[in-house]
Structure 1
Amino acid sequence: MGMAWQCTGLRWPDAQGPPVLGWRRGGAVRVSAQAYGTEFGFRAEGERRCVGARGNVCPVGVVVSGRSTGARCPECARLDRAHSVAADTIADDPRTYRVYLAWFGPGMVKAGITAEEREAARLREQGAVVFSWLGRGPLMACRRTEELLRSALGVPDRIPYARKRAVRGALPGAAERGAEVAEVYGRAVALKGAGWPRSLERLPFEAVDHAGLFGLDGAVEVAWAVTELVAGGAVAGRLVAAAGPDLHLATADGVVVLDTRLMTGWELVAADTRAGVGVPVADIGGGGVQGGLF
């Protein structure tokens, strides 16, 4: 391995500020804030290798698929999952949790849970355009509430990123976005006597809108999504928006969405910001052809 920086992913540490990309080189770590309107460009080198799990380096440095968002070998993926709250493997966590309702686009409201100490970071990491808290309490009470919303109201606990990306370029106005969350919140609260856990404290409805934070107000229609990085392939453009793990880059061929989880495990070097996109993409804007992106 050379000494190029490796990306550790996109994070949203601040409720008001821009996202930051994390970087690691040997024992050194740093972050770079991603400001909208700035030029962005990098090139992948060598092979993509397992990023390890829970802060531990993969003992064998396995080469992993370019299409995987996790960038982990099966053994490290198992280790990472074993300590995940989302995987339902931790039943005795003593922390207080919160249940939320998150909106990603018309007809796309999901329920989820997050540790109260993390505040709304989880919502920003998922790319929730609007959210409201629903309740707070012990982990298992929050889990039961999530299951109740799924079984009684048909509110899912997961929405695929592909669906979120497809609608992001043409969202309805703030009032309409908030109203859809309010409607689901009202139906959820009406379940209070039908299995709502006693230890869950209901929280008042308050729609928090991230469209401005994400740069999605008046955003340009998204045309393409990067499906994988390849050795020698550049990704470059002007950063116009970001949501969850995704960066939206304006290029000569339209707006391209880059899931930064695809960057992990690669050694990355700077590329000319006019280099465009020289990696495989999928058409998510209805253009039907893959144009000049190769």
Structure 2
Amino acid sequence: MWRCEGSAWPEDGPGAVLRWEGGRVSPLTAGREIGFRALGVRRCVGARGNACPLAAPVSGRTTQARCAECARLDRAHSVAADTMPDDPRPYRVYLAWFGPGLVKVGITGEARGAARLREQGAVAYSWLGRGPLMAARRTEELLRAALGVPDRIPYDAKRAVRADLPQRADRAAEVAALHARAAALPGWAETLERLECRVVDHAGVFGLDGLPPATAVVRELVDGGAVGGRLVAAAGPDLHLRTPDGGVVVVDTRLLTGWSLVRAGADAGAGVPVRALPAVRAEQGGLF
């Protein structure tokens, strides 16, 4: 029995891995047969590297396996909460593309490199600028407002377009055009260094070329529930598994975090609650 700590995209690795308590990892390579069964109760994973003192039970449907107190402590020290305005580390502003009409502007610590973009499932991206945290934050907010882009893209919207993406050249052209629009806007923070457009495409790394449409999404794990299939793609936290019935089920690995898992056969299919993937695409205004 292994306790899952979710997936990660190491900067020095070829793809995603599933992390386990104690430091072990399992590579998530395309074509691999995967099967696991959840046992017991899902429990809080704690905050900032510290275990939850209560080992509190948490809901199977939340993507954040933390109790209310650990969630509060974790967010209190996050960049998103703006509680560290004097952080001396350099940050980068990025433009992330997830599909037609699905674009966001965000920031990440420079030390994390492109891992943050892979963790979100960005199909393509380009850096916009680099500099101190608050300069990056001010520029991020400026670009969001001026371009009319949100601070996050729902995962259902990302999943809905992965099997029907434009060609790589078209993706790169769209990112380049948006980068040019962003670069032309006045009001950037003076201490933020502007970076030229260099589009990076993750479709090959994720395994999206020829990806079949998803037929269902795992809603939650339950005690005794098993999931199994052949991995056809891994994008952000999502695993796309071809199940024995020929369908493709998406497993959000954030739902695995906090569960104790044991091996199950790849022929297990989806023996847990699932839901249909919404067909409606979330379109943005203000970009096109």
TM-score category of the 2 structures, normalised to the smaller one: over 0.9
The answer for the alignment partner of 1:104 in structure 2 is 98
The answer for the alignment partner of 2:19 in structure 1 is 22
User: Residues 128 and 15 from structure 1, CA distance in 2 versus in 1: closer, same or farther, beyond 3 angstroms?
Assistant: farther
- The 5-angstrom pairing of residues 1-294 of structure 1 reads 4-14=1-11, 17-24=14-21, 28-191=22-185, 194-251=186-243, 252-284=245-277
Aligned equivalents of 1:38, 1:121: Cα separation in 2: 22
Aligned equivalents of 2:150, 2:184: Cα separation in 1: 18
Aligned equivalents of 1:285, 1:79: Cα separation in 2: 33
The answer for the alignment partner of 2:285 in structure 1 is none
SS at match of 2:98: strand
Maintained 8 Å contact 1:221/1:285: no
Once the 2 structures are TM-superposed, how far is the Cα of residue 265 of structure 1 from its aligned partner? 1.0
Segments ≥4 residues shifted beyond 3 Å? none
One-letter amino acid of the structure 1 residue matched with residue 2 of structure 2: W
Q: Per-residue displacement from partner, 1:268-288 (whole Å, max 9, x unpaired)?
A: 0000111111111111165xx
SS at match of 1:222: coil
The answer for the alignment partner of 2:283 in structure 1 is none
Maintained 8 Å contact 2:11/2:114: no
Maintained 8 Å contact 1:223/1:285: no
How many percent of aligned residue pairs carry the same amino acid?
A: 67
User: Number of residues paired by the alignment?
Assistant: 278
One-letter amino acid of the structure 2 residue matched with residue 256 of structure 1: V
User: Residues 221 and 280 from structure 1, CA distance in 2 versus in 1: closer, same or farther, beyond 3 angstroms?
Assistant: same
Once the 2 structures are TM-superposed, how far is the Cα of residue 144 of structure 1 from its aligned partner? 0.7
User: Residues 127 and 15 from structure 1, CA distance in 2 versus in 1: closer, same or farther, beyond 3 angstroms?
Assistant: farther
Maintained 8 Å contact 2:156/2:278: no
Aligned equivalents of 2:169, 2:130: Cα separation in 1: 26
Aligned equivalents of 2:61, 2:68: Cα separation in 1: 15
Aligned equivalents of 2:157, 2:102: Cα separation in 1: 9
Maintained 8 Å contact 1:224/1:285: no
Specify every segment of 5 or more residues in structure 1 that has no aligned partner in the other structure, as ranges. Answer: 287-294
One-letter amino acid of the structure 2 residue matched with residue 95 of structure 1: R
TM (norm. structure 1) is 0.92
Once the 2 structures are TM-superposed, how far is the Cα of residue 155 of structure 1 from its aligned partner? 2.0
Q: Per-residue displacement from partner, 1:218-272 (whole Å, max 9, x unpaired)?
A: 1111111111001111010000000111111011241111000100111100001
Aligned equivalents of 2:234, 2:12: Cα separation in 1: 14
Maintained 8 Å contact 1:124/1:243: yes
Q: Per-residue displacement from partner, 1:21-49 (whole Å, max 9, x unpaired)?
A: 1111xxx3211111110100000001111
TM (norm. structure 2) is 0.94
Maintained 8 Å contact 1:53/1:76: yes
User: Residues 265 and 16 from structure 1, CA distance in 2 versus in 1: closer, same or farther, beyond 3 angstroms?
Assistant: closer
Aligned equivalents of 1:98, 1:179: Cα separation in 2: 22
One-letter amino acid of the structure 2 residue matched with residue 274 of structure 1: D
Aligned equivalents of 2:70, 2:13: Cα separation in 1: 34
One-letter amino acid of the structure 2 residue matched with residue 169 of structure 1: A
